[in-house]
Structure 1
Amino acid sequence: MSAFEQTLEDLPLKTIRAYRDYMFPAMIATYGHDPYFPIDSPHVWMTSLGFQIYLQDDNSELTHVDPSEAPRRDLVRFRDAVLQMDYRTHHFFSLENVDLWILPKPFGTFLRTLANPRAEGLDNSDRNEHDCASVLSEIEPNESEYGSRPSSSMSGSIYPPSDNESYNPGSLSEISRPASSLSVHSEISNITHLSGVSSSIGMPDAPPRLPDDSSPAHRPAIKQRKRQRENHEGMVQITRELWVHELCNITEVPETWVVSRPDHLVAWLVDMSESVDLLRDASGDFLPFQAFLRAEDQDSWGGKGSAGRPEGDVDVLALLPGKKIRSRRAQWGCSGLRKCEFLDPSILEDCERYDVDPAGMKQLWDLVLDANEREGESVWSVIARFYRFVTELKCKGRLRGELCPGIAKMVAYSKVIEGGNTYFIGCSEWSPQQTDRRGHIFHKIPPHVDEILLKHALEHGGLIPNSPTTNNLCCFTAHPRFSLLNCGYSHIINGEIFVGKMIPHPCPTEILVFTPVNPPPGLEHKAIVHVRNPHTHPIYPRTKPRSVDRQRLNAAIDATGAGIGGLTVQKLLNASTTTALYSGKRVNESSPAYQDKRLVRNAISKKRTEKNPMGFGWEGVVFRNNTVDRKLPANERYIHSVISKADFRLAVTMNSSIMQYIHRMRAIMFDYSYKRVNGDINECEAVGFSNFLSQRITLGSIYGDGLDTNAYVHLFTEFWDSVESSTGCFLKLAPFYPDGKLKVIVLDGDIAQAMGLGIFLSRYNKPEISGIQTTDPVELLSYCLKMCTVHFKRHIDELPKTIPLATISRIKAILTLKSQADLDSWHAEMQAQTDSYIKNWYEHKRRNPLVLRAVNQYLSNIPAEIWNTTPDDTNYVESAHAARNAETSIRLTPLHAIEMAEERDRIRAAELIQIEQEAVVPRRNNGLFSREKLGLQRKEWKMRQTQDRTDQLTTFDHLTAQRELNRSAQKSSLEREKEIKEEIKKLQRELELDRRRADHKLTIKNLRDDISSEESHRRELRFKRDEIDSKLAALRSGPLAGVRVHGRRSNTGDTFDTISVDDEPLDHDLRPISELVSNQPEFADPTHRYSPEGNAQSEDEAAFERSPPRDTETSRFRGKFLDFNWDTMDIDFTLEDYEFTEADFAFMRSLEQGNPTHDESSLSAASHQDIILPVTMSPQPLPQPQPQPQPQLAVAVEHIGELNLADVSVGNIVSTRRVRRTRDRARDNDIGDNVGSVSSKKRRL
């Protein structure tokens, strides 16, 4: 048996368990896990180096190092240090699983030990057990507390010692774990056998040699002793060799110790008797006093020294006056600080600190702030930082089944991408031919990084041409407990990028701690501390929380109650309980270390792990059920059943006090909620309304991930069993147990859920009791199942919007049909449907008859009296979802969701009991009448809201139609202007050939006036368009914000939703005017008529004009429909230019005289060619000279003077082509005042 194995035999089981919990994840301690580390055979899995890491931990808050970002070399060394040879090749401990089995705290301690040259024995994973033991056993011999010691912590001896060095072997008992969560000092202090068997582990054969006072090398002269005794006058004796000028009594450990000056030596008598709780760890055990002192100190004590050993115990005279108290002497050296290798030497030069001097720390911090500012201003630093990022990348992809060995390099894009980048950072081993691209290096180059300079730096080992020197003198330092390997700033020296390495800065300061070995009463929590040799660095910032800080923060975490599972840093800091504990102050104001939110997060994680070591996922639910709920009586449990099957998992939870009310309910409903629990597990709530208390009650919850019929069978089975075990009463459904109070079960329409209930009922039904002989699940469901009509209607409404509303209403009619004839008619109509979506819907209901039987009372076996007195929907459970989400938050882990619900159910149970006992209810008027009245009022409000929304959507549709018409009118105006310009060019060419054509000049002038009119008209259209756009935007951002405004279902069989405008001529089969103008209010306003005063239209009139289609044969334009008067059934219109015949003018004069006469044969041919809209619009019947129908008249003039065409009563009015020279023709035919010359600028299109 080796020496270490012998040591393990003497270690208490408590220490072995503490080591296992410290070094490995909790699953390692779970029986059945592969691998499993039992505490009864530690020699199989414990290593001496791992145990030293455990002892070296100082219980400080370490910077967590992400194992996946740590160098592979350090990961392999750590694995070899803490695992036996047999386990190093185990698949669980592969580097693929470093995030799973490497814990941040021991790994951080290991890295810190690697960075300390005095622990070089840990830096080589290949050392044998001899080396490990020698590292554990090395203790610096001291004859006197003031024995010689090198001033630099870097000058210590290297392990193992060389042959010419004096070596004093010790044992494991010589080192107690300074800051262990367990008191291991007292447990291993009596293990002394290693000193006697040192040869078995490579120790020198000679026994340990203590300093020999008789040796000349150690025996001082007699005269010197007398001189020392004379110099001790007026001093306080601590030990035989240690005298101080002053012994100060303190009851609180300072954050930073004052160093004794050579001319005034000071020791501190620390008495923690009044603060004993601060000395306890998380398990309630007392920490070793030395560990407590180191944990409280902001300085890092981890250099050369030890926590004491029995061979080095001394008699202390100052602990108890007049008595010598045998005490353990612990001595450590200051670890100094970590600094960048480019640190400016002047910063720490001549630094000699005795007192607590914040000014030095502040000066160093000011340098850091200035460096931060310079770093952000340098464009060269941008390239250096990204270069460093790229060179540190490791490819995590797979290549030929193995980890890809590729490195980062710049790769050219195959095509130009957004941002204009030419390159990206890719893997050197990846090629486009590889199918698996995941995991390989891929990063976009930020746009502010110069690709050319970056490419040059990557190809030339960090060289940047023409770059200035940046940060050649650095100011970056760090506390030794932070495992930083590289400097945080960029360094460019002589055109080359460097990554500053963090190196130790030695400090000669030492601390001596004397604690009683077997303390008499009154000295259990006392110690003497003496600090000597000045520090060579400023004090550290207050980055380490003290015991009182940790305890107060833990109290704040505990005060959050059951919310620890989902507790976040911000929730904790903002909680009212936290504010109360900190007396209204901010947490980081009382404890500056918690300015670093990571420390708060670590504290929460630690508490969470302590509460449930298996986490808060499904494993945590199983663990809690096995360790907590199963040990309680059935009526005190909250988790009543946990099932893990191959295809589903299930957990039933309920509060027994609340569940008592289920036996007095007429209906319960089940429904899944998918928001409260994160991941695959979802929550199914069982809810009912208690008429007894007039309260909606959430009875219990079932958590699971199975959504098939088999899972639902187990869900209802486990729920029924849990109700019986929780309440002590069997839950009876009235159709199957006539004396049962529960009448129906309401589900949301899930077929698998309903079939699961049906199969459960086939086992639940006892024919001899119920009289129901069938075992068909569908038939049994018809006695007790109702499906939510809201869900049923919603699924119908989700059918395509192309299906008319009348058809949708007819489909929904199945809910209220009450006779077989009505049902047969409905089925016949459904079978006759041709729409594929309706056919699929109906086929689904035909294949699953339970659905229609659960929504129609005529098809159900539930009596009408019960049907009409039980809910038709799942609104109770839906509202319970919202209430629970608001009370307990959403996206919770399964165990956290259960614990939050448990806390809420506990409060709810107390409220229900109080209602019964105190006769005080949350809402006095909550009876059936009040609830039904409120329900009707809500429906009325919803109906009004729907009507308002419909009106708003109608307005939106009309405005959209106006905008489309406006756009078409602008387009037509541009086309007309183009046509006019072409005509002007043609006339000008003719005029050049014949200058005597005065009529051409007049026509050209008129046409140019027409162009001006078109431009003016388009300006009006643009103004109108802007007005319409502003109205549409107001609707979109206001009442219609977030509303679907397009694709709504039509109220008729038509599938179009908006008015369409055709630019092509339509001479027949035109759509009715009602489809074009709908119910637009403006069309019903008689004031929006053609105004003879100035020939002006209303401001809305132009927007409703219909664009005149082109006449392809004559290249002329038709007129435009303007307005429609629903009161008089008249159409207001504007006449376009038209080439009249004599008969046409004669007919117009007859109209003016009130005696219209016409000869159909005399009308112009154009009148018959250009008929657009045959509508009879006269408010009074016109005298007809002939019995045949009134002919269709084509009337058009270029300009209408004072002629009020609103008074013209004609049978058919249409717009016609425009032609040239209309003004002259009108004069030639003596139209006179009726058709005068009016400025064309006032003409309306």
Structure 2
Amino acid sequence: MLDHFGDAKALEYRDAVLDPVLIAMMPDHFSIENASSWLNTDSFATWVAQEMQRNAPMSPSKSSAAGSRDASRAPSMKTPSSRLSSRAPSSTPFRTTPKVQRFATPVEISDDSEDDLATVATPSKRTLPQLNLKAEPDEAAISLRRKSKAKREIIEVSSDEGDDVAPLRKKARPTAARKPRGAVQITRQLTCDKLIHLTELPTCWTIPVDGLRTAYFLDLTKDTRKWATDDGESMSMATIIKSQDQDAWGGTGSGGSIGRASVVMALDSVKCQRARHSCQGIYHCNQLDMSLLDGCERYVPDPNQRRDLWEAERKINEQEGSTVIAKVAMFYKEVQKKRCPHVSNGGVQCAGLPVIRNLKEISNDGKRHFIGCSKWSRSDPAYQHRFVSIPIDVHEGHLRHLFQNKGAFVDDGSLAEQLRVHSGKCGNVQLPRNGGRGKQECAFTHINEQGQIVQGKLIQRACKATITIYFPVDRADRRAIVLLEGPHNHPMPASTKVSWDGKALYKNAVEAVGVTGATVVKVDSAQSTSNIVGGSDPSACDPALSRARAKRKIIQKVKATVAPHGNSVIGVQHRMLTDRESLPKEDLYIHKVDVDHTTVVVTMLPALAARIHSAKYSLHDNTYKRLHGDWKEWEVVIWDDRLNMRLTIARIYCQNETRDAYRRMWSGLWNTIGAVTGEEVKFKFMHGTGLRAILVDGNKPQAEACGDDLLSRNNPDISKYHGRDAMEILPFILRTCYIHFDRFLTKLSNAVDDATMKRVRGCIFLETAEELDAFKKFCEESPHKMLRDWYSDKKHCSWFFPSLNQFFSKMSEEDWFLTPGHTNLNESAHPFTNQHTGINLSLLEGIERAPSGKSLLLYRRKIF
């Protein structure tokens, strides 16, 4: 149907039927190349018929000859000397698709697009609709497109002035009739006047300005680079061209169906796909000084065209923090953007607005106010709604006025100069890859002449420059024909897009350093990186590599290649299964991934884990810095007397710190050690040999879960312990770190008197049950709320005081004095681990980098 009516009619239908806002938002989707996706053929045919009826007269004119017709309905093209049929019109309705009369002699024309075809026309037996075209009243011409597999041709016919038949007048492509055929044949329908040969990829293309139709012949045949995607597939020439181009092109990037490929004579008649793109322009703040862009026409890449924009942005940068009201306005904008974090019991997000409220006392920063929520009520839990402290460098008086005046400064004469500074125009211009995303808000502060804070919006400046690429279907053929039409209406973009070369270079640098745990700082500072890029800074090879965000993105892609299943639990499971198939049992590190209820991952090296069978005690503590998000790492440390050193024998990962989660961690630890070493872990109070003590940091769920697991392992026939209370079994083996206990006492000392503190500190040295009962009563009746709350939390923990005080512990005196009363061995391991593995790692990266340091070295030397 498009072949019959033409592209122009389809675009006219689009503009008449579809919402122009929708077309502007999605220009690529509603392009003529993508017509199959948005054009409904039935609706289009009906619309065309209605348009033809609307423009045609109800009946042929009977009162005047053709020479005296209204000029507004006269044809616009001169008619050759042949005649139209003078057959009388029929009373039956006209045919919307006239019959085509075939002629033997074609008239060759030139065309500048393979989609623009010449049309022919024939007389009809019925009344034909007349289009409203301007022309000389004594001439008429008809051209009608006919569908044929043979060579397309234009047929010219003429009409007598006295004919009563109203001819069909359909617009023809003016370029088809006016432009002479060029000297260089590109495709069967497309020619050009000049062909420029290139052997290197431009980063910004020059658009011809000499009036000649010019094409570029890009030949990368001698280019030794292996152009391939991240998946290893060979890149098309269109993709290669766009990967190096700093301008933002959008459109039908796929190049259409291979089955509809064109034969390109300029490329030795190979079959080629065609990709046609439009420049996506730029995004700029709606407060921009438009004189920076007005009249801009870019044909030739010129970095100097950016200078005025660059200077304007530097100026607005200087102004941003140059006045007191600017800092106030920036803080006001930020608090307005963030919503209140409170969620009701029914799951409803709080819709409260930020308001300024009074503090009960002056803050340490000297502020009397804070930013609260308008929906807050005294019945709500503390700190559940918005609570934002006012920064020390924000003027509290001006901020209060802003909230009172709905975001407007009230000038009493003292702010005139400051308001003048910020009432100027903006200089913020962004490329589509940045400005076309997110909320599209300008990051700079704008204040109008009335003192009102204005949120700048990023709007698109459309550009009419286009690029057409003919590239071979054969991906091994590194040639292409490129045609550009323009000009651009914006300056040459800055080099913020990393080229294919830059990506490949930095990818090699990442792999040289090591993918696991790779960061921008680590890669940039490595000597191997300096050797690869040929200098000290990667940006020396590609200016876009000066942006840390661009380098992080490359690192993430490299990591995704190494870990195709991701770096979270699924990736860990995949790595565990892969290792089981490829590694011997003694080298396996990930042993268990339990995802029931709560996820628990158990890791250890069998040879290191076996050292627990000769250890006197084990230490257990969480560390939080190494892993990103809510993952916790539970380190298990022992002191090895034979080696006279600390060993981290296992690491367990979990996202929760509940009693059930710790129960799974304890059972996972002891069961896995038994499985990988072939020997069950023994506890002295149960088996007469084995671990004398288990040291923890005082975490209540951790200790109680330890009791649950020990009780499940107890065999009364061997241990002679017949109790069924998990809390009563803990005093036989559990010790709480007194340094962690002392940290609480330090906090408590800020809230109670010295006499009270002296008695609390002495609780770990009490010797009789009567003294302990008196201490408990002292805490319970204390006038200090903090002390009462602390004891209320420990009141039902029968294991707590025995884990701190030898006189109430059920451990033997020997076991008590042969085991430490603190977890410093464990605590001191955290900084060492963080230093060697890094922090804020993903789960899989944290697991892969954990088995390092001296313990791993000893394991590899097999000195155990």
TM interval, short-chain normalised: 0.5 to 0.7
1:836 paired to 2:778: yes
Which structure is higher in RCO with an 8 Å CA cutoff and minimum separation 6? 2
Seq. identity, %: 23
Q: Which residue of 2 aligns with 1:530?
A: 483
1:626 to 573, 580, 583: 573
| Cα distance between partner residues in 1 of 2:29 and 2:536 | 43
Q: Which residue of 2 aligns with 1:638?
A: 589
1:513 paired to 2:464: no
1:542 to 472, 489, 495: 495
Q: Which residue of 2 aligns with 1:325?
A: 270
| Pairwise CA distance, 1:558 | 5.1
**Compared with structure 1, are the counterparts of its residues 723 and 248 closer, same or farther at alpha carbon in structure 2 (3 Å cutoff)?**
same
Equivalent residue letter for 2:255? A
3-state SS of paired residue (1:627): helix
1:911 to 854, 857, 862: 857
The range that moved more, 778-787 or 357-366, is 778-787
Q: Which residue of 2 aligns with 1:479?
A: 431
Equivalent residue letter for 1:270? D
| Cα distance between partner residues in 2 of 1:722 and 1:552 | 43
Equivalent residue letter for 1:686? V
| Pairwise CA distance, 1:423 | 12
Q: Which residue of 1 aligns with 2:648?
A: 698
| Cα distance between partner residues in 2 of 1:113 and 1:872 | 73
Alpha-carbon displacement from aligned partner over 1:860-901 (angstroms, at most 9, x marks no partner): 56484x6665555544223323433443455x46x53x6335
**Compared with structure 1, are the counterparts of its residues 346 and 757 closer, same or farther at alpha carbon in structure 2 (3 Å cutoff)?**
closer
2:825 to 869, 876, 879: 876
1:663 paired to 2:605: no
| Cα distance between partner residues in 2 of 1:471 and 1:842 | 61
Q: Which runs of 5+ in 1 are unaligned?
A: 1-80, 82-110, 135-141, 150-162, 166-205, 815-822, 920-1245
Asked whether the 8 Å contact 2:114–2:187 carries over to 1, the reply is: no
Asked whether the 8 Å contact 2:505–2:532 carries over to 1, the reply is: yes
Q: Which residue of 1 aligns with 2:247?
A: 299
1:257 paired to 2:205: yes
1:213 paired to 2:152: yes
Alpha-carbon displacement from aligned partner over 1:1187-1239 (angstroms, at most 9, x marks no partner): xxxxxxxxxxxxxxxxxxxxxxxxxxxxxxxxxxxxxxxxxxxxxxxxxxxxx
| Pairwise CA distance, 1:264 | 9.0
Asked whether the 8 Å contact 2:445–2:454 carries over to 1, the reply is: no
Q: Which residue of 2 aligns with 1:590?
A: 541
Name the larger-Rg structure: 1
Alpha-carbon displacement from aligned partner over 1:686-707 (angstroms, at most 9, x marks no partner): 1112233222100012334665
| Pairwise CA distance, 1:718 | 1.6
TM-score norm. by structure 2 comes to 0.62
More helix by share: 1
Alpha-carbon displacement from aligned partner over 1:86-108 (angstroms, at most 9, x marks no partner): xxxxxxxxxxxxxxxxxxxxxxx
**Compared with structure 1, are the counterparts of its residues 207 and 730 closer, same or farther at alpha carbon in structure 2 (3 Å cutoff)?**
farther
Asked whether the 8 Å contact 1:749–1:851 carries over to 2, the reply is: no
3-state SS of paired residue (2:850): helix
Q: Which residue of 2 aligns with 1:1016?
A: none
Asked whether the 8 Å contact 2:370–2:388 carries over to 1, the reply is: no
Alpha-carbon displacement from aligned partner over 1:557-609 (angstroms, at most 9, x marks no partner): 55664755xx7665665566655554443344433224444434555566666
2:836 to 887, 903, 906: 887
Asked whether the 8 Å contact 2:217–2:479 carries over to 1, the reply is: no
Alpha-carbon displacement from aligned partner over 1:779-809 (angstroms, at most 9, x marks no partner): 8667655665766888899897745999899
**Compared with structure 1, are the counterparts of its residues 796 and 207 closer, same or farther at alpha carbon in structure 2 (3 Å cutoff)?**
same
| Cα distance between partner residues in 2 of 1:495 and 1:811 | 64
Q: How does 1:395-414 map to 2 (within 5 A)?
A: none
Q: How does 1:490-505 map to 2 (within 5 A)?
A: 490=446, 505=461
| Cα distance between partner residues in 2 of 1:552 and 1:341 | 38
| Pairwise CA distance, 1:655 | 2.3
| Pairwise CA distance, 1:911 | 0.6
Q: How does 1:774-813 map to 2 (within 5 A)?
A: 774-775=722-723, 802-803=754-755
Q: How does 1:409-424 map to 2 (within 5 A)?
A: none
Asked whether the 8 Å contact 2:329–2:453 carries over to 1, the reply is: yes
| Cα distance between partner residues in 1 of 2:215 and 2:715 | 89
Equivalent residue letter for 1:899? E
Equivalent residue letter for 2:311? D
**Compared with structure 1, are the counterparts of its residues 143 and 333 closer, same or farther at alpha carbon in structure 2 (3 Å cutoff)?**
farther
| Pairwise CA distance, 1:401 | 10
**Compared with structure 1, are the counterparts of its residues 510 and 655 closer, same or farther at alpha carbon in structure 2 (3 Å cutoff)?**
same
3-state SS of paired residue (2:232): coil
Matched residues, number: 705
Asked whether the 8 Å contact 2:627–2:846 carries over to 1, the reply is: no
**Compared with structure 1, are the counterparts of its residues 493 and 834 closer, same or farther at alpha carbon in structure 2 (3 Å cutoff)?**
closer
Equivalent residue letter for 1:599? A
| Cα distance between partner residues in 2 of 1:630 and 1:326 | 47
Alpha-carbon displacement from aligned partner over 1:908-953 (angstroms, at most 9, x marks no partner): 4541135556x9xxxxxxxxxxxxxxxxxxxxxxxxxxxxxxxxxx
1:285 to 233, 247, 272: 233
Equivalent residue letter for 1:668? S
3-state SS of paired residue (2:851): helix
Asked whether the 8 Å contact 1:358–1:539 carries over to 2, the reply is: yes
3-state SS of paired residue (2:250): coil
Asked whether the 8 Å contact 1:236–1:245 carries over to 2, the reply is: no
The range that moved more, 659-668 or 393-402, is 393-402
**Compared with structure 1, are the counterparts of its residues 352 and 672 closer, same or farther at alpha carbon in structure 2 (3 Å cutoff)?**
closer
1:316 paired to 2:269: no
3-state SS of paired residue (2:664): helix
**Compared with structure 1, are the counterparts of its residues 717 and 219 closer, same or farther at alpha carbon in structure 2 (3 Å cutoff)?**
closer
Alpha-carbon displacement from aligned partner over 1:93-129 (angstroms, at most 9, x marks no partner): xxxxxxxxxxxxxxxxxx998446565689xxxx988
Alpha-carbon displacement from aligned partner over 1:995-1036 (angstroms, at most 9, x marks no partner): xxxxxxxxxxxxxxxxxxxxxxxxxxxxxxxxxxxxxxxxxx
| Cα distance between partner residues in 1 of 2:402 and 2:732 | 79
Q: Which residue of 2 aligns with 1:358?
A: 303
3-state SS of paired residue (2:600): strand
Q: How does 1:1000-1039 map to 2 (within 5 A)?
A: none
| Pairwise CA distance, 1:610 | 6.6
| Cα distance between partner residues in 2 of 1:667 and 1:415 | 50
Asked whether the 8 Å contact 1:785–1:854 carries over to 2, the reply is: no
Q: Which residue of 1 aligns with 2:79?
A: none
Equivalent residue letter for 2:859? I
| Cα distance between partner residues in 2 of 1:829 and 1:391 | 58
**Compared with structure 1, are the counterparts of its residues 802 and 132 closer, same or farther at alpha carbon in structure 2 (3 Å cutoff)?**
farther
Equivalent residue letter for 2:709? F
Q: How does 1:461-472 map to 2 (within 5 A)?
A: none
Asked whether the 8 Å contact 2:289–2:426 carries over to 1, the reply is: yes
2:603 to 653, 659, 665: 653
| Pairwise CA distance, 1:628 | 2.7
| Cα distance between partner residues in 1 of 2:361 and 2:692 | 69
**Compared with structure 1, are the counterparts of its residues 120 and 497 closer, same or farther at alpha carbon in structure 2 (3 Å cutoff)?**
farther
Q: Which residue of 1 aligns with 2:81?
A: none
Q: Which residue of 1 aligns with 2:160?
A: none
Q: Which residue of 2 aligns with 1:1150?
A: none
2:638 to 681, 688, 703: 688
3-state SS of paired residue (2:828): helix
| Pairwise CA distance, 1:375 | 7.5
| Cα distance between partner residues in 2 of 1:736 and 1:473 | 80
Q: Which residue of 2 aligns with 1:199?
A: none
2:680 to 730, 736, 743: 730
**Compared with structure 1, are the counterparts of its residues 327 and 114 closer, same or farther at alpha carbon in structure 2 (3 Å cutoff)?**
same
Asked whether the 8 Å contact 2:372–2:386 carries over to 1, the reply is: no
